[in-house]
Chain A
């Protein structure tokens, strides 16, 4: 086994273990800590695929910002098993069945898509994931949506101030 393969299997196992622990941990704070491990493992996969930018952004945005937000929310809500509302069993079943149906359809669609069958991930080759390529794409080919999204952020910012300011 080459180093890459060892790394690949290690990271995959870590990601799966983390994801399982997210689901079965009783304490929501532990769930979030496990989720951070999942994100680290996935970032490792991105590095293997030669996508540095994605790996770093995944760490900064997901493992950094969003997880901190999750932690804040969980801690503020002070969840524990006593205060948790009883969920209707029939509702649970309905949720599982409908969600499962959607998942089955999606899996089947991806599996039977002829466009995807011959394609494999590129390891160690290709420069699509490099920051330089991304910069070129963002500021040359996709400069119009890049600039227009500033309106989106501006309106979100105005909104945050309007909602958050004390009257």
Chain B
């Protein structure tokens, strides 16, 4: 509850700071301080301290998994604000409002990681998406951004309609919005249709194929800083919502949805990876790679066991941090194509090395967090004992992904070119170094994060 209340309050605070403070670079520091406070209060809720005691049992239930997920999202946002604060200032005239919207998104994250009620799922998903429509179009002079924003808004509203239809059908069968139903019975027709509609709507939000068509255009059209936020924090929050829904229903569903999720996983992996291979723009390539990564995270939705939950946490941390790191560098570049990276290693050896670590983590090379994230996902699948073929497909596509990630590394190290990079402060470099250290530490000792789940 702390996260939900405080992030809403901080959102309002950011809005008002837009009236009273006219120094544009101050917002970044206010936001960072607020995020730090938010992180502290979120962690302390795990130890039983909550700001106000209200009975929300029917709607929200706070447990370790959700709180840890919140912490990862808040921490990633903190890193994001510190790394990309300069770029946020450059987009449009309403910097304070952009930060306010980011805090509202975090409020949505707090809701979708702890809901027990379909009503809250709906509100959470909406609080998560509506600020994004605005952030996508916040660069008003950019026509591509406007188009992306409108497209995202229309498609998002449509998927919300599907979500509501699904909720209505589920309510029609059960007579309650609660998501807990135990016992291994067959689903009734209405329930099955409702669940499929919910599945479609949530797949849309996490951009799993075949509901991914908006992703490349929106991620490519939005300002690079906000793409970074959308592709990381918001996407993994969608998965948190997904796994909560399906976890509560494992009893009823059993193997009835296996095939559906299996098909979606294979399609997502295939589409994301194979299309990413052919991209020339790194920004667009990252959009497709985020679809591919979503395919991997879908394994957790398929398996829904303890390993899958641990894996999803690790995946969220690894994926968010590496992608935010890459985008922080990308946003400083003039030329966002592959050629733009030519010769980065010569002019900025440290940054090139760190970006290499981030790409290695995305590809899932051992000694980076991405390796254990993928490992846990596959281990969770093996544990279920069925559909081992899916694991093989996952490994094959992970190998494909190495190809396009390494193209960037190759461009940085083995090609010559004049790099055009916005001025980089030493603080930025140290922060980036810190993120890379966290990724390597998690890659060597993933229990550093996972043990938090059990204390």
User: Quick one: CB contact mask for B66-99 with A, threshold 8 Å, 1 for yes?
Assistant: 0000000000000000000000000011100110
Q: Does A163 contact B (CB under 8 A)?
A: yes
Query: Which residues of B (40-61) have their CB < 8 Å from a CB of A?
Result: 54, 56, 58-60
Give B174's nearest chain A residue, CB to CB. A115
Pair A142/B193 contact, Cβ less than 8 Å:
no
Pair B134/A115 contact, Cβ less than 8 Å:
no
With both chains docked as a complex, state the minimum distance between the C-beta of B431 and any C-beta of chain A, in angstroms: 28
Pair B11/A154 contact, Cβ less than 8 Å:
yes
With both chains docked as a complex, state the minimum distance between the C-beta of B428 and any C-beta of chain A, in angstroms: 27
CA distance in complex: A124, B98 (Å): 51
Q: A142's contact among B98, B119, B134, B192, by CB below 8 Å, is which?
A: B119
Contacts of B104 on A, CB cut-off 8 Å? 151, 154-155, 158
Pair B119/A158 contact, Cβ less than 8 Å:
no
Pair B119/A145 contact, Cβ less than 8 Å:
yes
Pair B101/A145 contact, Cβ less than 8 Å:
no
Contacts of A1 on B, CB cut-off 8 Å? none
Give B169's nearest chain A residue, CB to CB. A109
Contacts of A152 on B, CB cut-off 8 Å? 123, 126-127, 130
* Contact status of A109 and B107, CB under 8 A, knowing A161-B97, A162-B97: no
Q: How many residues of chain B are within 8 Å of chain A by beta carbon?
A: 43
With both chains docked as a complex, state the minimum distance between the C-beta of B132 and any C-beta of chain A, in angstroms: 9
Q: B190's contact among A110, A141, A155, A167, by CB below 8 Å, is which?
A: A110
CA distance in complex: A149, B120 (Å): 9
* Contact status of A158 and B193, CB under 8 A, knowing A149-B123, A152-B123, A163-B134: no
With both chains docked as a complex, state the minimum distance between the C-beta of B189 and any C-beta of chain A, in angstroms: 4
User: Quick one: CB contact mask for A96-118 with B, threshold 8 Å, 1 for yes?
Assistant: 00000000011011101111100
Pair A109/B193 contact, Cβ less than 8 Å:
yes
CA distance in complex: A156, B157 (Å): 13
Pair B188/A155 contact, Cβ less than 8 Å:
no
With both chains docked as a complex, state the minimum distance between the C-beta of A76 and any C-beta of chain B, in angstroms: 15
CA distance in complex: A144, B93 (Å): 34
Interface of A is mostly: helix
Q: Does A159 contact B (CB under 8 A)?
A: yes
Pair A113/B130 contact, Cβ less than 8 Å:
no
Contacts of B190 on A, CB cut-off 8 Å? 109-110, 113, 115-116
Q: A163's contact among B54, B117, B137, B172, by CB below 8 Å, is which?
A: B137
CA distance in complex: A145, B134 (Å): 23
Contacts of B119 on A, CB cut-off 8 Å? 142, 145
Give B108's nearest chain A residue, CB to CB. A151
Q: Does B133 contact A (CB under 8 A)?
A: yes
Q: A154's contact among B12, B94, B117, B123, by CB below 8 Å, is which?
A: B12
Query: Which residues of A (116-167) have their CB < 8 Å from a CB of B?
Result: 116, 141-142, 144-145, 148-149, 151-152, 154-156, 158-159, 161-163, 165, 167
Pair A151/B97 contact, Cβ less than 8 Å:
no
CA distance in complex: A156, B132 (Å): 10
CA distance in complex: A162, B138 (Å): 7
Pair B56/A144 contact, Cβ less than 8 Å:
yes
Q: B140's contact among A109, A110, A161, A163, by CB below 8 Å, is which?
A: A163
Contacts of B54 on A, CB cut-off 8 Å? 144
With both chains docked as a complex, state the minimum distance between the C-beta of B53 and any C-beta of chain A, in angstroms: 13
Q: Does B449 contact A (CB under 8 A)?
A: no
CA distance in complex: A115, B175 (Å): 10
Pair A144/B59 contact, Cβ less than 8 Å:
yes
Pair A159/B189 contact, Cβ less than 8 Å:
no
Contacts of A148 on B, CB cut-off 8 Å? 4, 111, 120, 123, 127
Contacts of B117 on A, CB cut-off 8 Å? 145
Contacts of A151 on B, CB cut-off 8 Å? 8, 11, 104, 107-108, 127
In the complex, given contacts A152-B126, A163-B134, what are 7 additional A-B residue pairs having Cβ atoms less than 8 angstroms apart? A115-B173, A141-B58, A155-B11, A155-B131, A158-B97, A159-B101, A163-B140
Chain B: residues with CB nearer than 8 A to chain A? Answer: 4, 8, 11-12, 15, 54, 56, 58-60, 92-94, 97-98, 100-101, 104, 107-108, 111, 117, 119-120, 123, 126-127, 130-131, 133-134, 137-138, 140-141, 149, 172-173, 188-190, 192-193
Chain A: residues with CB nearer than 8 A to chain B? Answer: 105-106, 108-110, 112-116, 141-142, 144-145, 148-149, 151-152, 154-156, 158-159, 161-163, 165, 167
Q: Which 8 interchain pairs have the tightest Cβ spacing?
A: A159-B134, A155-B104, A113-B190, A109-B189, A144-B59, A109-B193, A151-B8, A162-B94
